[in-house]
Amino acid sequence: MSIAIDIRNVSVTLKGKEILKNINFSLEEGKFLGIVGPNGGGKTTLMKIILGLIPPTSGSVAVFGSPPEALLHGNGIFGYLPQHQNIDPNFPSTALGIVLMGRFRKAGFLRWPGKRDREIALECMSMMGIEGVRDMQYSQLSGGQQQRVSIARTLAGEPKILILDEPSTGIDVVGQEDFYHLLKGLQRKMHLTILMVSHDIGTVTTYVDEISCLNINLYYHGNPLGALTDKVTTSLYGKNFDLLMHTDVCDKCERLRP
């Protein structure tokens, strides 16, 4: 297994404020990593550093051995899902139109996606279970459907690494479980390395291979079960914190039971 992401002594200071402090970890190819922590804990900043959108103040990042800024200009190995609230819910496009945007880079300058791109886009839509809404307006879809359309768009670019920023917002709790199952399936089927930012430590631990607990410092990195100690959760969320564990027992069945 090769190392997909390698982070060495990364610190970020913005306007005299410490955002990230001496972060070290690496992630093997094909693994599913959850980055959890409170708002303002530096999750999004770390993600942007890995994507090459901002440089670290000190330290280094390597993605498959290259600095991430260099990868921006290449063929593209990242599939990036921005936070749901940063996408205009009324963007004028059909669902298929959104997914086809994921093929723009592969189509190249001055060229529009062709027949083959369309086939790939539809394949990605069927993987996400949304081929039925392909010709519907994006604005008419539910939050969960919009999120699936967005993931289909990132998949259409044939990425090696999927980076998802709070992908479960806008999806109801029951839908969230299905959604994480779907991601888990994608990881196996397409040998994707997945990096998912979430504030929800309870749900995430059930699905990821590794977890990073981030609150300026990296308090924990490794097996998800090891993250659920009092010491780690207190450094992330403080003392008054209730942990809601999600297990393999189906929520829906439990609720329907008389």
Partner 1 sequence: MMPEVFGSPFMQKAFLAGILVSILTGLISVFIVLRKMSFIGAGISHAAFGGIAIGFFTGMNPLVTAILYSILVAIGIESTGRKGKISEDASIGIFYSVSMALGIALLSLSKSYNVDLFGYLFGNILAISRTDILLTVITFVVVSGFILMFLKELFLSTYNEELAKVDGVPVVLLNTFFLIALAVSIVISIRIVGIILVSALLVIPGATARLFAKGLISMLVLSCLTGVASVIFGLLISYQYDIAPGACIVLVSALIFFFSVAAKKKR
Q: Is 94 in the site for partner 1 (CB under 8 A)?
A: yes
Distance (Å, rounded) from C-alpha 47 to C-alpha 82? Answer: 10
Q: Are 130 and 152 in contact (CB under 8 A)?
A: yes
Q: Is 88 in the site for partner 1 (CB under 8 A)?
A: yes
User: What end-to-end distance do the CA atoms of the chain give, in Å?
Assistant: 48
Q: Is 80 in the site for partner 1 (CB under 8 A)?
A: yes
Q: Which residue is listed with tokens 């690496």?
A: 26
CB closer to partner 1, 51 vs 192: 51
CB closer to partner 1, 143 vs 202: 143
Which of these ranges, 82-90, 183-191, 209-217, 225-233, lies near partner 1 under the rule CB under 8 A? 82-90
Which of these ranges, 23-31, 78-86, 117-125, 247-255, lies near partner 1 under the rule CB under 8 A? 78-86
Angle at 161 between CA 155 and CA 164, to 5 degrees: 75
Q: Are 79 and 155 in contact (CB under 8 A)?
A: yes
Q: Which residue is listed with tokens 């290449």?
A: 74
The token pair that represents 242 in the structure block: 């209730």
**For the window 153-182, what string marks contact with partner 1 as x by the rule CB under 8 A?**
----x-------------------------
Under the rule (CB under 8 A), what is the footprint of partner 1? 48, 51-53, 72-74, 76, 78, 80, 82, 86-88, 91-94, 97-98, 101, 104-105, 107, 110, 112, 137, 157
